[in-house]
Structure 1
Amino acid sequence: MRTCRSVAVLAIAASLLTPATAEAAPSIGGWPHSVTLTESALEGVHGTAPDATIRNVLTVTANGAALRIRLGNPFGGSAMTVRSAWVGLQPKTDSPALRPGSNRQATFGLKRTVTVPPGGTVWSDPLPLIVRAGDHVAVSVYAPGAPVNDHVFPPPQANTPGSFLSGPGDAGRDESGTAYGAFSPGTLWWVDAVSAVSEARGTIVALGDSITDGYNAFGGGPRWTDVLAARIGKLPPGRRLSVANAGISGNTVSVQPNPYDPTNQCCGPPAPLRLDRDVLSLPGVRYVLLLEGTNDIGGGDHAPPAPAAQVIGAMRTIAAKVHAAGHKSVGATILPMCSGAGSAKEQVRLEVNNWIRTSGTFDSVLDFDAVLRDPADPTVIRAAWRSDCYHPNAEGDRVLGESIDLSTFGL
């Protein structure tokens, strides 16, 4: 049953359903707020889109109305022409079918088509859709021949971001889902954010790597950011915040060659270089939660392990930019990595974590290392919560999400 406050939010939102220019990010002052309901940061460009429609599915983390979607071509070497885009609600995560009557065609400056230049992004005009936290928003995009800017590291859960690909042609208006094939968990093309007018008073953006992305969280549960969002969603409406997940598997916190891919298309630009697009450009940001450094310290075939000063310098740069933008910064300590006690990598991790805890650079600190490490061997994650040396399993993600003190976000 809707509260009077929720009805008021939706009434005000209805008055905001006016066209926007394609370049304008949604932003309104006062109450209600324009916030980011969900995000799935793009990581690189992989091929060219076929003559087919991609039905992207993202789960929102707060109630909202007057939805807008953001499409991106940040890595494309040529322009991306969107011939049509539709936005609807998906009632079942294992099916591309939409809730009857929910599908709406998106416009961009009142136009049904839009061309996004290389390196660009575009926000849609507001859509007459109302969502509640936990709803699945399906964004169907038909852009044959466009460079595929994507997010392609699939977590195993069926209810996290993912997509369905259609047969040939524009299938955006198809609510039945019969035009689409099987679900591809974790794979999205072009859609990286959904915003709305909301009773939530702002957005927490989690900037991270695969641990935030949910990669290898085997066991079928939600990511730790989803656990956090669910906990916040139980608070009274006026206290809630939305949560946007800007995790990219393989991402680094420092500016360096990517340890896993010399083409720099697997894992997104280093965090300082993607901070503006993936964090600061989003509407409603109030807190930025940084959990990175594992890939820098671990190194790989294409980059050596990073020294502590390099990781700390990058974190200091990010926190300074977050503060300059008027937001709060939250630092999370780096999880155990199976580096032996006394090893060079473990010494770097301990030095960085000590700096995170004691430097005062961040407004608040979440000691994820202390939460998940094995008391008998603090160089590893507890076996019951570990998927592999770097990643928690689904139970580990649940423990992380439950461990967060909500007062960190003024709640």
Structure 2
Amino acid sequence: MGRALKLAIVAVLGLAMGTAGAADGSSEPSGHWVTTWTAMPQLTEPGNMPPAPYTQEDLVLADSTVRQTLRVSVGGQRMRLRFSNAFGGAPLPITRVTVALPSDGKAGVSAIQPQTLQPVTFYGRPSTVVSVGAQVVSDPLDLALPAGTVLSVTAYLADGQASTDITSHPGSRTTSYLAKGNQAEAADLTGATPVDHWYFLSGIEVWSKPATATLALLGDSLTDGRGSTTNQNNRWPDQLFDRLRTDRRTAGVAIANQAAGGNRVLNDGLGPNALARLDRDVLAQSGVNWLIVFEGVNDLGTAADTQDAQKKVADELIAAYDQIIVRAHAQDIRVYGATLTPFGGSFYDDAQGHREAARQAVNEWIRTSGRFDAVIDFDRATRDPADPRRLVAAFDVGDHLHLSPAGYKALADAVPARLLHR
């Protein structure tokens, strides 16, 4: 091969690589993609489906607009969206997507600031079809997002999804809005129906500084925020982020909350079990540097309340934690184990105390095995000193299992900031 031809090939390859880099944002110096917000994808239960007329037989959200708000953690100069059809029974055709800032800058409102509205594209096109079981990542969008920004994402589905198996995150603790017709660019939605769920949207990434990195959280309803205040972003991950952003050493920590109410480590429940979803929800996320594992209460609570059954599930949980550690360490992710919080007096409690004994056995392993890179003692932070089987009364939302916003603050405060220094 002649020298001139070699130079020509190098030039063409360089141009192609430069074009690809520009397309995904990676041509910008001194930065990388970081996951700054997530909603764990789930198969939508019948009670959490869009109401009529947005669901008609086997057609969902036909000629309908869904406007959703969310709060990012760290900010960046560019952003891109992820939509999931992980549990869809048919391809998901998305006709139009826009992003904007909400009218008052807060979560849970249907109105936007029209001057901030920008269209979202997918490979340069305004629409896309998400294959069954797949996800789609949008083109990068030049929209600078300061840390903690609340963002409105609006999607219009002209044809709808031809299945009642759809992907969502029911426990949004945030109000979304459904409306008929193409209102993707409307300043406010006409005839909107509020629903406290997120549909299809599963992640936001930002192009951010090299020092930024993501903390992923693997959890259940205690991390998803049951007991927190709708539209107030006061789950413990939110309160942890608010605390971390005030310190320059941790201001670059993004948080990916990959939790869902009813989720279990060992067996499917509401959403796939933690072992099955680890790759999708943690290892495949952009920029993950740390993982907190705070899950297992539902495994204990749904197993039989006999001594043998509880010993078996405790042993299996410990083995599962070890598997999570091994798989995350293979991706150079540091893994922190959080002890399981008390549930005495709840619907999981049993008169013989076998579940409490199993919780204590699991927590003892988390604290003393040395397998986790560090231990976060949520049990110690929330238990009643006078009755360690139970939550502190001020932290109890009322069911003796889930926490109030004050209880979630106690969890957030129990995470040592030093564990998140780069």
Identity of aligned residues (%): 31
**Map of 2:235 onto structure 1:** 223
The CA distance in 2 between the partners of 1:288 and 1:378, in whole Å, is: 27
Summarize the Cα distance change of 1:236–1:373 in structure 2 as closer, same or farther, 3 Å threshold: same
**Map of 2:78 onto structure 1:** 66
The CA distance in 2 between the partners of 1:368 and 1:30, in whole Å, is: 40
Among 334, 338, 344, the alignment partner of 1:332 is: 338
**Map of 1:282 onto structure 2:** 285
Among 400, 405, 409, the alignment partner of 1:394 is: 405
Q: Deviations 1:61-113 (Å, cap 9, x if unpaired)?
A: 11212110000000112111111111112123342111232111111111111
**Map of 2:387 onto structure 1:** 377
Unaligned runs of 5+ in 1: 1-14, 21-25, 156-160, 259-266
Unaligned runs of 5+ in 2: 1-18, 50-59
**Map of 1:164 onto structure 2:** 177
Q: Work out whether residues 373 and 379 of structure 1, in 8 Å CA contact, stay in contact via their aligned partners in 2.
A: yes
Q: Work out whether residues 244 and 250 of structure 2, in 8 Å CA contact, stay in contact via their aligned partners in 1.
A: no
Summarize the Cα distance change of 1:354–1:342 in structure 2 as closer, same or farther, 3 Å threshold: farther
The CA distance in 1 between the partners of 2:354 and 2:405, in whole Å, is: 29
Q: CA deviation at 1:229?
A: 0.6
State yes or no: 1:202 paired with 2:189: no
Q: Deviations 1:293-313 (Å, cap 9, x if unpaired)?
A: 010000079xx8662111112
Query: TM-score, length-normalised on structure 1?
Result: 0.85
Among 134, 145, 160, the alignment partner of 1:145 is: 160
Summarize the Cα distance change of 1:210–1:139 in structure 2 as closer, same or farther, 3 Å threshold: same
Task: Kindly report structure 1 stretches of 4+ aligned residues shifted beyond 6 Å.
Answer: 26-30
Summarize the Cα distance change of 1:123–1:379 in structure 2 as closer, same or farther, 3 Å threshold: same
Q: Work out whether residues 36 and 193 of structure 1, in 8 Å CA contact, stay in contact via their aligned partners in 2.
A: yes
Secondary structure of 1:365's partner?
A: strand
Report the AA paired with residue 149 of structure 1.
Answer: T
Q: Work out whether residues 215 and 391 of structure 1, in 8 Å CA contact, stay in contact via their aligned partners in 2.
A: yes
Q: Work out whether residues 298 and 345 of structure 1, in 8 Å CA contact, stay in contact via their aligned partners in 2.
A: yes
Q: CA deviation at 1:276?
A: 1.4
Among 93, 100, 103, the alignment partner of 2:117 is: 103
Q: Work out whether residues 334 and 368 of structure 1, in 8 Å CA contact, stay in contact via their aligned partners in 2.
A: yes
Residues matched between the structures, number? 373
Q: CA deviation at 1:237?
A: 7.4
Q: CA deviation at 1:27?
A: 6.7
Structure number with larger C-alpha Rg: 2
Q: CA deviation at 1:410?
A: 2.0
The CA distance in 2 between the partners of 1:353 and 1:237, in whole Å, is: 30
**Map of 2:100 onto structure 1:** 88
State yes or no: 1:52 paired with 2:64: yes
Summarize the Cα distance change of 1:404–1:70 in structure 2 as closer, same or farther, 3 Å threshold: same
Q: CA deviation at 1:235?
A: 2.1
Secondary structure of 1:142's partner?
A: strand
Q: Work out whether residues 85 and 105 of structure 1, in 8 Å CA contact, stay in contact via their aligned partners in 2.
A: yes
Q: CA deviation at 1:218?
A: 5.4
**Map of 1:9 onto structure 2:** none
Summarize the Cα distance change of 1:17–1:137 in structure 2 as closer, same or farther, 3 Å threshold: farther
**Map of 1:38 onto structure 2:** 37
**Map of 1:190 onto structure 2:** 200
